[in-house]
């Protein structure tokens, strides 16, 4: 029997070790594979970006193009006129001008064009705490970029190119949920920012080593209190060598489908290891990418239960407590029930449950299959928002417009992860923030303390209901608050 296609068959074919006919056949198959890789590379590389990142505070001295009041709006950079006696030196300006081909980046990564209008998907850790971001594509001059939306918990971010005057070649997101161990894959990225001058990405290929992996090293107390979604086992493990700069690169199957985003293990976990990881585009992660594409905050789902530790060898998530007034409580869930699936995704343990509920996102309805007294049942649960702390400011270009300087949030975020809290989820919406000197701030509304249950006499229980009711009003807003009960009028 002739050896299967791959590097071994190519080596055998070249050496003639398998016989003339068989060796020729192996060589033919290997050359066909080589041609397929070349065709995929040629087709997709115009969409693979090299991302240059600066975290220098020097821009603050003369930067007139960023908006410090809006997180993520980093702005363009234009060389200022250098005064002989005032302002930064010409040498400093040259070092800060990331469009200059002589500029050597301090930090870098990769990205993928997801919209012709200039949206680039990358890893959040690539642009975290950036003061300036510059993006270069193959054969293109490059553009500065704002952070359109970012989500630390999924380690994903979308950039928006500034002053883009052309359409860019965007890649459609494929389905990475069907990948299997041993499947061949292809990756394009910019290791060590090799393409920071010409934007040309590097290509490598290998195979899927394993599925549903966690990021090693995420075991400290801080990580447990503020885990990434990757903690719950969403990553692909590959045998690809993904060096620094490969975070945000594109992963493809051999049909040319874009199925995931590479992430450099060295950058994420702080070490250098053989092989690398990738975020696969299954239904959960693709849903999060779409939220970021719209420039919105990713709001993770919450149903309001705590779980017992299952007996060894048993599958499913066993309910221990149900939070009062939570989605699970309103659906009639009881202690001791066993949850079997969420939206037909099997639930084998607590991590499966958390991952599938969280990634279904707040405001959506999920189908829950569970076992009660030996009988399998289903329920539809409308999720609210989970409290999930993050280290930085919220970056989302398309947040709801503030109402008289007021932003609100789900009251479920007040639980701070205390799922077994006997007081449960309060009705209404909680004040999330007030803009300084706005009517809301002058009225003394306190973020994360004051809860609003009515707008102009109409009950509200979600942020959407609040904003809808407020935007329909043509005059002053009368807000009914609790603890202590009172009414506040915003002119």
Q: Which of 43, 44, 78, 42 is nearest to 59 (CA)?
A: 78
SS3 of the chain: the string is CCCCCCHHHHHHHHHCCCCHHHHHHHHHHHHHHHHHHHHHHHHHHHHEEEEEEECCHHHHHCCCCCCCCCCCCCCCCCCCCCCCCCCCCHHHHHHHCCCCCCCCCCEEEEEEEEECCCEEEEEHHHHCCCCEEEEECCCCCCEEEEEEEEECCCCEEEEEECCCCCCCCCCCCCCCCCCCCCCEEEEEECHHHCCCCCCCCEEEEEEEEEEEECCCCCCCHHHHHCCCHHHHCCEEEECCCCCCCCCCCEEEECCCCEEEEEECHHHHHCCCCCCEEEEECCHHHHHHHHHHHCCCCCCCEECCEEEECCCCCCCCEEEEEECCCCHHHHCCCCCCCEEEEECCEECCCHHHHHHHHHHHCCCCEEEEEEEECCEEEEEEEECEECCCCCCCCCCECCCCCCECCEEEEEHHHHHCCCCCCCCCCCCCEEEEEECCCCHHHHCCCCCCCCEEEEECCEECCCHHHHHHHHHHCCCCEEEEEECCCEEEEEC
Q: Which of 457, 443, 455 is nearest to 490 (CA)?
A: 443
Q: Rounded to whole angstroms, how far apart are CA atoms 463 and 460?
A: 8
The predicted pLDDT at position 8 comes to 46
Q: Rounded to whole angstroms, how far apart are CA atoms 193 and 395?
A: 25
The predicted pLDDT at position 421 comes to 55
Beta bridge partners, 257, equal none
Q: What is the pTM of this model?
A: 0.89
The predicted pLDDT at position 219 comes to 44
Angle between helices 350-360 and 283-293 (to 10 degrees): 30
Token digits for 407? 């932003």
Q: Rounded to whole angstroms, how far apart are CA atoms 223 and 219?
A: 6
Give average pLDDT by consecutive 10-residue segment, the chain, 491 residues: 46 50 77 89 96 89 66 85 57 80 85 98 95 94 96 96 95 92 94 82 91 62 56 86 89 95 65 72 95 98 87 78 94 91 91 92 96 93 91 91 96 76 85 96 96 96 96 92 94 90
Q: How many residues does the chain have?
A: 491
The predicted pLDDT at position 271 comes to 46
Cα 481 from chain centre: 34
Beta bridge partners, 280, equal 260
């Amino acid at each position: 029997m002739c050896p299967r296609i791959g590097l071994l068959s190519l080596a055998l074919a070249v050496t003639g070790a398998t016989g003339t006919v068989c060796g020729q056949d192996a060589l033919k198959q290997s050359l066909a594979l080589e041609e397929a890789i070349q065709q995929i590379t040629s087709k997709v590389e115009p969409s693979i970006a090299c991302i240059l990142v600066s975290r220098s505070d020097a821009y603050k001295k003369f930067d007139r193009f960023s908006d410090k009041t809006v997180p993520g709006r980093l702005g363009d950079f234009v060389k200022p006129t250098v005064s002989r006696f005032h302002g930064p030196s010409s040498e400093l300006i040259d070092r800060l001008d990331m469009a200059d081909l002589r500029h050597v980046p301090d930090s870098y990564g990769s990205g993928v064009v997801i919209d012709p209008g200039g949206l680039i998907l990358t890893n959040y850790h690539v642009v975290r705490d950036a003061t300036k971001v510059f993006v270069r594509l193959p054969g293109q001059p490059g553009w500065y970029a704002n952070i359109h939306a970012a989500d630390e918990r999924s380690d994903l971010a979308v950039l928006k190119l500034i002053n883009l005057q052309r359409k860019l070649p965007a890649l459609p997101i494929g389905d990475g949920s069907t990948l299997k161990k041993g499947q061949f894959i292809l990756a394009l990225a910019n290791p060590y920012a090799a393409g920071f001058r010409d934007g040309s990405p590097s290509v490598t290929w290998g195979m899927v080593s394993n599925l549903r992996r966690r990021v090693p090293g995420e075991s400290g107390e801080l990580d447990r209190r503020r885990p990434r979604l990757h903690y719950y086992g969403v990553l692909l493990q590959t045998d690809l060598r993904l060096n620094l700069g490969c975070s945000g690169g594109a992963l493809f199957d051999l049909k040319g489908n874009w199925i995931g985003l590479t992430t450099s293990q060295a950058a994420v976990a702080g070490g250098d290891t053989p092989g690398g990881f990738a975020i696969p585009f299954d239904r959960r992660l693709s849903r999060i990418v779409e939220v970021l594409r719209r420039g919105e905050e990713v709001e993770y789902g919450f149903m309001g239960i705590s779980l017992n530790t299952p007996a060894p060898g048993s599958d499913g998530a066993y309910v221990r407590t149900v939070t009062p007034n939570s989605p699970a409580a309103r659906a009639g869930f009881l202690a001791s029930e066993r949850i079997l699936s969420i939206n037909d995704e099997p639930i084998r343990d607590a991590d499966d449950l958390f991952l599938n509920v969280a990634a279904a996102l707040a405001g959506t309805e999920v189908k829950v299959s569970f076992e009660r007294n030996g009988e399998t049942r289903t329920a539809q649960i409308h999720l609210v928002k989970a409290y999930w702390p993050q280290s930085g400011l919220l970056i989302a270009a398309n947040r709801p417009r503030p109402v008289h300087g007021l932003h609100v949030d789900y009251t479920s975020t007040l639980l701070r992860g205390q799922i077994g809290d006997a007081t449960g989820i309060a009705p209404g919406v909680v004040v999330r923030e007030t803009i300084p000197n706005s009517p809301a701030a002058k009225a003394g509304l306190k973020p994360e303390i004051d809860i609003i249950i009515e707008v102009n006499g109409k009950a509200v229980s979600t942020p959407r209901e609040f904003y809808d009711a407020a935007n329909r009003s043509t005059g002053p807003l009368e807000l009914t608050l609790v603890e202590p009960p009172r009414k506040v009028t915003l002119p």
